[in-house]
Chains A and B, each alone.
Chain A
Amino acid sequence: MYRDFGTVLIFAMLAIVLVYVPLFIQSLVAPSQKTPDKLDNYECGEEPEGSAWVQFNIRFYVIALIFLIFDVEVVFLFPWAMVFKEMGMVAFIEMGIFLLILIVGLAYVWKKGDLDWVKYNVKYGRGRYRQKASQTEGEAVGSI
């Protein structure tokens, strides 16, 4: 079993060598002319605007949270996959139920509009992200 991992190790080392050695050689031979444009961050050819240290939109957090939760549940799939053959149908049904519950959660998130980037039915409180109070006061409230 360790031998299998040895193969993987050799493979990984080869991958590293094969990537970094050409890069190293290239840095030796390539000419180097530093201009402001070249030193700038590469953003798909667009001109970068402002600092990278901006505050992100709060939506990122929400999406990240949702991602986090669903992502972590996958942890359970790995041990399941290991014993799937031995346990057969029972394991399949169990995991089906598990995923079904997750899907209900997904449906919930979807319905609540948390997957939409622009969310209309959110009424924020009195803090920084409060919307124009006159627009949304008294409307239905969704969840973050």
Chain B
Amino acid sequence: MNNLLSISLFLPELVLTATIIIAIIVDIFSVSNRTSKVSNYVIIGLLATLAAVFLTNHSPTTLFMDSLAFDPFASFIKSVVLVATLLIIIFTRYSNEFKGYHTGEYYALLCIMVFGMFLMASAIDLITVYLSIEVVSLMSFILAGYLKNNPRSNEASLKYVIYGAFSSGIMLYGLSIIFGLTGTTKFFAIRDAITTLDSSSNLALTLSTVFVLAGFGYKISAVPFHFWTPDVYEGSPTPITAYLSVAPKAAGFALMIRFFNQVFVDGDSLSTLGWYADVSFAWPEILGVISVVTMTMGNLVAIQQNSVKRMLAYSSIAHAGYMLMAFPTISSEGVFAVMIYLVMYLFMNLGAFFVLIYVAQKQGGENFEHFSGLGWRMPIVGIVMTIFMFSLTGLPPTVGFIGKFYLFVAVINAGSAFYWIAFFGAINTVVSLYFYMRVVKTMYLDGNPSEEIIVPPLSVTLILLVLAVPSVFFGIYWTPILNWVNNSLLFFVQI
């Protein structure tokens, strides 16, 4: 589709751009230092964007001369990202970490990041892949270091920016080799070109794709590209940590799904997928090993943490590992499972982080000891946190169980060659029980239960319920999510 026609299907991004510009202008001209003003505009803008995402209906096609895809899959990821962003804005308004900071541009940066993730969700051209990843990364660097006077936040952003620049550099080098080998930057053309490559290019192709994998691995924090994650997550302001663990990860997974399913895969539509036969790639094994190592490493290190925030950081690595389980199968079922998991993960992980934000404010810290006796002192918070922990472990009847269920089904249905992944996944789930339940145990068995009861204010209760109710409700009745994902499981595919 040519540029002018594309504009009409680019509506969500346009609304988002307008939101960004308005946010900056409002920030410039606002006399008072009240930051909620900008956030109000941004919330309205993001809601409008969400509406635009749902309103732009068109059969799958490409925009801007084949550099972006417009399809239900992209819209799905966009909605997930938007919901996460809206929740994070609310968290931020509630969090007291930003006290004393001017947060006008914070919201604008957040919106630019959303824009980048929109592009990530729909990129089908190497240029847009690189651009979108960079936009998201740059914004996350700044946001991670937003607390300028906090050395930990500084350190987080320093590590993040250098590691991120390094990873994207490596990825870019890989992209350049791919471009050289195939002579094009479009996914579909690359796929066609790969078929005609002779075996002498195999090493170059391997090198380049592994370099690209390093970039993706950095984005979704998969072992061995995950090292920045715990440090950055711990140092960043907690709302940003929550955000980084959900939204960019969702977008990263979307990009990875597109890249692997459209470049390295034989077959024209999702139903007839299969790994590319001509080139001798060991993708199933490599991705399987990465997945298993990622979740094992995330879980085992999480056990040793004393800070709940850092524990959640490692747990988010482990969850990336779970989601990676479905990649080696390269089936539509696997993609389906990852999409479901993304939605489920959104609720439970953001919920856990919000409880963390609240508890850190009330108790003055983020370590396990600050949670002791919490179940008795703040009954609602305790119950809700228990729900989130159950859900993160994957126990029924919570969303975590449903997400894991579909992942395991996808892996097992893919054939006996993948059973070992499911096996390690199951073991890891058991291991993760240990540290998630440690939170619950600390809340209910430790500490002095006789202290007076603290009832959170109504707004906090509401936010908690908004996150906890879906965590249970969709664990019992998940058909709406299933339908949504089913309808969104439609890529743009060039025949």
Binding site for B on A (CB under 8 A): 90, 101, 104-105, 107-108, 111, 123, 125-126, 138, 140-144
Contacts and interface: CB of A to CB of B under 8 A. Distances in A.
A43 to B, nearest CB: 36
List 3 A-B pairs, minimum CB-CB distance, nearest first. Answer: A111-B28, A125-B149, A108-B24
A119 to B, nearest CB: 14
Chain B interface mostly: helix
Contacts of B102: 140-143
Contact of A141 (B4, B25, B28, B101): B101
B21 A104 contact: yes
Contacts of A138: 100
A123 B27 CA distance: 19
B33 interface: yes
30 contacts: A90-B3, A90-B4, A101-B21, A104-B21, A104-B24, A104-B25, A105-B24, A107-B25, A107-B28, A108-B24, A108-B27, A108-B28, A108-B105, A111-B28, A123-B149, A125-B148, A125-B149, A126-B149, A138-B100, A140-B33, A140-B102, A141-B100, A141-B101, A141-B102, A141-B149, A142-B102, A143-B102, A143-B105, A143-B148, A144-B148
B233 to A, nearest CB: 22
A143 B109 CA distance: 14
Interface residues of B, number: 14
B352 to A, nearest CB: 31
A82 B33 CA distance: 45
A111 B102 CA distance: 14
Given A101-B21, A125-B148, A143-B148, 4 more contacts: A90-B3, A123-B149, A141-B100, A141-B148
Nearest to B101: A141
A102 B33 CA distance: 24
Nearest to A125: B149
A111 to B, nearest CB: 5
Contacts of A111: 28
Nearest to B102: A141
Nearest to A107: B28
A10 to B, nearest CB: 35
Contacts of B105: 108, 143
Interface of B: 3-4, 21, 24-25, 27-28, 33, 100-102, 105, 148-149
Contacts of B3: 90
A95 to B, nearest CB: 13
A141 B100 CA distance: 8
A5 to B, nearest CB: 27
A130 to B, nearest CB: 10
A90 B3 CA distance: 10
A144 B157 CA distance: 15
A66 to B, nearest CB: 15
Contacts of A123: 149
Contacts of B100: 138, 141
Contacts of B27: 108
B206 to A, nearest CB: 33
A105 B24 CA distance: 8
B100 to A, nearest CB: 7
B28 to A, nearest CB: 5
Nearest to B29: A111
Contacts of A142: 102
Contacts of B148: 125, 141, 143-144
A129 to B, nearest CB: 13
A119 B102 CA distance: 17
A107 B102 CA distance: 17
Contacts of A104: 21, 24-25
B351 to A, nearest CB: 32
B15 to A, nearest CB: 15
Contacts of B21: 101, 104
Contacts of A108: 24, 27-28, 105
Contacts of B4: 90
A22 to B, nearest CB: 46
B234 to A, nearest CB: 19
- Most chain B CB inside 10 Å of its own CB: which residue of A101, A108, A123, A143: A108
A140 B103 CA distance: 11
A108 B4 CA distance: 30
A138 B149 CA distance: 12
A138 B100 CA distance: 8
B368 to A, nearest CB: 30
Contacts of A140: 33, 102
Contacts of A90: 3-4
A120 to B, nearest CB: 15
A105 B105 CA distance: 11
A90 B7 CA distance: 12
Nearest to A121: B102
Nearest to A97: B17
A140 B4 CA distance: 44
Nearest to B17: A101
Contacts of B25: 104, 107
